[in-house]
């Protein structure tokens, strides 16, 4: 209170300006590496400004200076105290071949839970259609209206189709599939906010539709057609949606925090990067699946033998499994144990 | 200032700084601006797509479909990342997305807060709006999960004090000990309130102006009682003007300061 404010500001101002310009440089180009002298200077300026703020805080009449200093210190604080890993440059290949599979494996339990829920839904859907053929009409959403008829009819129709859609129509179809599936996956992630309930319902419902259509085709004796139709895109699309569910369950897990010592905010902070990685991986997979579904899956027997389609699907699945389970594994280095001091010494 | 409107961050050095949290109305306005921009861009895009599909057929439509999707999801993510937490709407309304603990905003935080918007939007932003109003740090659910807050950046303009106060004889200056006590007892908010009242005095209705300055003058009189010879014959407005003069230009005479200067020189 006793400080001479005018003189204080006049004498401190150059330091604040210097801090501000340094901050501006750092924010403008986050990639640059500061040398030790600059870092020291930066820290000194930050502390000096913070001390200035402490002094000005007691001063009734200087809200503007205080606010200016507060914003300055807020920015410098963010730069200094950020301890989370700051990758200087984002390398897409490293992200794809290391970060993505590693993140997937880190949350493998959530993935298997997601698989389990979908399987339960599939069993439910399968049983429903096996015991009550009318269930199909009641459960299937409008999107799948073309599956309401007898599967054998559809197979016959598809196999005797003489003309196929133009490339343009197929690309529109492909784009629509991608958009729809990515939206479903984002929903699966976001519904994790409902402590996972929404995600579970969504996965279960997806499972029901899957089980229902599968049992319907198998019961009609069209297993080969079903595999040929679904496998090429399904082996990527389904795992992708399951990974969306996995992300939702990871988020729910962080919210619930079962058996974790960290606080809620720390838990959420810890999973945010993983969720981002997962959802971008899911989007990539769904783009691929959309392309395959529109340009490959929709061609049937006379044009494209089922054996080719099924083999292609199996190959994709094998690649996916290998990728998710092996890629980005760090070779375990031989640990050298420190030798205990010998007893004789 | 109420507890919900500021976010206090304490640094390890023991310094506390505050950030103003943005309320639902300003955030909604920013969202409206962004929505309008998105609408305009998609309309232009729509025309381009129509032209494109005339040439290429269905491929144009496919590109359009994807472009709309990427635009609707990517707009906020792109701008909040490139502009350190601001979209166009937020920039216009001087809002900014910030890490809730004052650290650097990370790309993953931007992505998550924007992707989880789908939950906040159920139905018509009701969930997000409720969360925003109820939460202590004015966060919608997406903000909560991503550990972000939206702050207001106040305009930092220095008021032109000289124009406002110059040339006026200030009878209160004769009592430096009381002036010092006044500065001690008046909070920054009170000081700036009086200053703002003076800055905007010509915008007030005559009656309202009288009442406002009477109220302010009484408030300051209750803080420090100046002797009557200093306050006799001054109107309430003049009294507030004198108070502000004392608060904001504490060292104008600089007689003591000059003496110290010459002593140290």
Q: Number of CB pairs < 8 Å for A and B?
A: 170
For chain A, percent of residues with pLDDT exceeding 90: 32
Q: Is the ipTM of this complex over 0.90?
A: no
Chain A residues in contact with B119 (beta carbon < 8 A)? 190-191, 193-194, 198
Q: Which of A70, A166, A268 sits opposite B145 (nearest CB)?
A: A268
What per-residue confidence (pLDDT) applies to B127?
87
The Cα of B38 is separated from the nearest Cα of chain A by a number of Å equal to 18
Does residue B3 carry a pLDDT above 80?
no
Cβ–Cβ gap B250/A61 under 8 Å: yes
pLDDT digits (tens, 9 = 90+) for A145-176: 666 677 777 777 777 766 666 777 778 888 88
Cβ–Cβ gap B58/A169 under 8 Å: yes
Q: Which of B14, B56, B145 sits opposite A251 (nearest CB)?
A: B145
pTM across the whole model: 0.75
b/e per residue A208-226 (b: at least 16 CB within 10 A): bbbbbbbbbbeebebeebb
Residue with tokens 């003049």: B238
Task: Tell me if B145 sits within 8 A of A272, measured CB to CB.
Answer: yes
Q: Given CB atoms, is A182 within the 8 Å cutoff of chain B?
A: yes
More confident residue, A82 or A43: A43
Best to test chain B binding among A30, A43, A65, A77 (most B CBs inside 10 Å): A77
Chain B residues in contact with A262 (beta carbon < 8 A)? none
Does residue A302 carry a pLDDT above 60?
yes
pLDDT band at B39 (very low <50, low <70, confident <90, very high): very high
Cβ–Cβ gap B257/A172 under 8 Å: no
Does residue B262 carry a pLDDT above 60?
no
pLDDT digits (tens, 9 = 90+) for B121-151: 888 888 888 888 888 888 899 999 999 999 8
What per-residue confidence (pLDDT) applies to A103?
93
Sorted by sequence, the CB contacts under 8 Å of residue A277 that are 6+ apart come out as A95, A99, A100, A103, B108
CA dist A210 and A221 (Å) reads: 17
Domain borders along chain B are 3-152, 161-252
The Cα of B149 is separated from the nearest Cα of chain A by a number of Å equal to 13
Cβ–Cβ gap A179/B250 under 8 Å: no
Q: Given CB atoms, is A169 within the 8 Å cutoff of chain B?
A: yes
DSSP H or E stretch at residue A20: helix A5-28
Separation in Å, CA A196 to CA A188, A190, A241, A256, A323: 9, 9, 15, 9, 27
Sorted by sequence, the CB contacts under 8 Å of residue B181 that are 6+ apart come out as B224
Sorted by sequence, the CB contacts under 8 Å of residue A257 that are 6+ apart come out as A264, A267
Does residue B258 carry a pLDDT above 80?
no
Range name among A295-299, B154-158, B227-231 with the lowest pLDDT average: B154-158
What per-residue confidence (pLDDT) applies to A61?
58
What per-residue confidence (pLDDT) applies to B232?
80
pLDDT band at B192 (very low <50, low <70, confident <90, very high): confident
What per-residue confidence (pLDDT) applies to B4?
56
């Amino acid at each position: 209170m006793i400080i001479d404010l005018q003189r204080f500001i006049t004498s401190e101002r150059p330091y604040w300006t210097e801090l501000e310009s340094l901050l501006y440089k750092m924010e403008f180009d986050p990639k640059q590496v500061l040398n030790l002298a600059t870092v020291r200077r930066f820290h000194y300026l930050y502390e000096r400004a913070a001390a200035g703020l402490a002094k000005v805080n007691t001063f009734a009449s200087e809200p503007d200076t205080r606010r200016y200093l507060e914003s300055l210190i807020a920015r410098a604080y963010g730069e200094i105290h950020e301890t989370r890993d700051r990758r200087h440059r984002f390398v897409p290949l490293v992200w794809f071949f290391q970060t993505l599979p590693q993140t997937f494996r880190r949350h493998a339990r959530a993935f298997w839970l997601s698989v389990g829920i979908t399987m339960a839904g599939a069993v439910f859907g399968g049983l429903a259609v096996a015991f009550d053929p009318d269930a199909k009409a009641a459960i299937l959403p409008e999107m799948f209206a073309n599956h309401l008829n007898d599967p054998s009819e559809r197979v016959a129709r598809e196999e005797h189709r003489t003309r196929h859609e133009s490339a343009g129509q197929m690309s529109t179809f492909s784009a629509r599939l991608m958009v729809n599936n990515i939206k479903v996956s984002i929903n699966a992630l976001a519904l994790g906010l409902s402590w996972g309930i929404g995600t579970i319902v969504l996965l279960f419902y997806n499972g029901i539709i899957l089980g229902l259509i599968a049992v319907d085709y198998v019961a009609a004796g069209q297993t080969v057609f079903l595999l040929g139709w679904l496998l090429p895109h399904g082996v990527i699309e389904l795992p992708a949606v399951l990974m969306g569910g996995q992300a939702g369950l990871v988020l729910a897990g962080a919210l619930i925090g079962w058996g974790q010592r960290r606080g809620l905010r720390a838990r959420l902070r810890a999973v945010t990067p993983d969720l981002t990685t997962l959802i971008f991986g899911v989007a990539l997979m769904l783009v691929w699946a959309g392309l395959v579904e529109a340009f490959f899956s929709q061609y049937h027997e006379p044009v494209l033998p089922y054996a080719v389609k099924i083999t292609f699907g199996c190959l994709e699945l094998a690649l996916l499994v290998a990728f998710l389970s092996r890629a980005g594994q760090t070779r375990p280095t031989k640990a050298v144990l420190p030798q205990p001091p010998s007893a004789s010494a | 200032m109420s507890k919900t409107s500021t976010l206090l961050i304490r640094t390890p050095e023991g310094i506390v700084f505050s950030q103003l949290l943005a309320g639902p109305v300003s955030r909604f306005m920013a969202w409206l601006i962004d929505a309008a921009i998105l609408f305009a861009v998609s309309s232009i895009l729509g025309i381009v797509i129509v032209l494109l599909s005339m040439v290429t057929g269905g491929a144009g439509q496919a590109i359009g479909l994807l472009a709309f999707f990427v635009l609707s999801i990517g707009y906020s993510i792109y701008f909040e990342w490139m502009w350190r937490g601001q979209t166009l709407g937020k920039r216009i309304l001087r809002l900014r997305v910030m890490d809730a603990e004052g650290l650097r905003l990370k790309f993953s935080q931007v992505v998550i807060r924007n992707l989880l918007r789908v939950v906040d939007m159920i139905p018509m932003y009701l969930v997000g709006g409720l969360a925003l109003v109820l939460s202590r740090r004015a966060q919608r659910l997406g903000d909560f999960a991503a550990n972000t807050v939206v702050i207001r950046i106040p305009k930092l303009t220095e008021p032109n004090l000289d124009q406002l106060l110059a040339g006026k004889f200030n009878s209160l200056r004769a009592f430096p000990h009381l002036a010092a006590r006044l500065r001690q007892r008046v909070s920054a908010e009170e000081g700036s309130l009086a200053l703002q009242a003076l800055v905007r005095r010509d915008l007030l209705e005559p009656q309202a102006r009288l009442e406002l300055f009477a109220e302010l003058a009484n408030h300051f009189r209750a803080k420090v009682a100046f002797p009557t010879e200093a306050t006799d014959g001054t109107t309430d407005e003049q009294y507030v003007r004198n108070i502000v003069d004392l608060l904001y230009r504490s060292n104008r005479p600089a007689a003591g300061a000059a003496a110290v200067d010459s002593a140290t020189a």
